[in-house]
Amino acid sequence: MLENLTDWAVLVVERLGYFGVALLVAVENVFPPIPSEVVLSLAGYTSAKGDAWVVGMVIAATIGSLVGAWVLYGLAAALGPLRLRAVVIRYGNWIGFGEPELDRAEAWFDRRSRSAVLLCRCVPLLRSLISIPAGFRRMPLGIFTIYTLIGSLVWNTVLVTAGYLLADQWERVLEFTEPFQTLVIVLIALVLVVLVVRKVVTTKRTRDLEEAMRPGVTHERFNEIVRDLKAEQVDGPDASPKSSDDL
């Protein structure tokens, strides 16, 4: 599948130039299996052949990065923090991730949102996924855009320049990026394994805690949990999350 996606990306860049690069990078932000490393290094090679301006390719890729990031941010923001909390309340205990863990995660992101967005935009896979918590926490769009722009500009410049310098050997870029991406995937997999192990060890304790905090929650339906959370947000200062949900 990856080889077919690569061949398709090559075809799009060769035929559509700047627009093709922007389009592919935007789609890659929403659909990570499309290899941005291939798109960006190929954009550099296209510039090296004289078929495009290397700075123009960087600009096109950065525009695509912003558009794709805005899409994921918008989807997460539309879903809203209350629905995220309802999902965690209803299903999070399957992996030992309940409201206390969500509160800590949200507090961590609120404190480090700018550096998280900036750094993750330079890491494969995470560069796309970071837009989701930013949207859920409704990070100010202007701030999100600025840090996404900076991080994306760095990532795009490095890979486009590498493709430009390597010219017809642009595919060698993958020799350096693929091990990095593999490492990220392994780390994500390890995190998932840890969560599963936690689930086996702590599921009952988490269920008991959620039941104590919200009696009957383990039997509530998702829509009922959302309704209760909205009521809490309206009725008292202790309601969470802090962000408002217009849905």
10-residue stretch averages of pLDDT, the chain, 247 residues long: 67 86 89 78 88 92 95 91 77 65 83 91 85 91 96 94 86 77 80 70 59 56 67 61 45
pLDDT at position 12 = 84
pLDDT at residue 56, rounded to an integer: 94
Per the domain annotation, does 244 fall within a domain? no
Is 247 within a domain? no
pLDDT at 206: 56
Distance CA 168, CA 176 (A): 16
With beta carbons less than 8 A apart as the criterion, state whether 138 and 247 touch.
Answer: no
Query: Which pLDDT does position 221 carry in this prediction?
Result: 60
Asked if the structure places residue 243 within a domain, the reply is no
- pTM for the model stands at 0.72
- Looking at the structure of the chain, the number of domains it has is 1
**Structural domain contains residue 242:** no
Domain assignment of residue 128, yes or no: yes
Which pLDDT value is given to residue 208?
60
The Cα 141–Cα 216 span in angstroms is 37
Query: What is the SS3 assignment for 49?
Result: coil
Burial of 165 (0-12, 13-18, 19+ CB in 10 A): middle
Domain enclosing residue 106, as ranges: 2-235
Q: What's residue 82's pLDDT?
A: 80
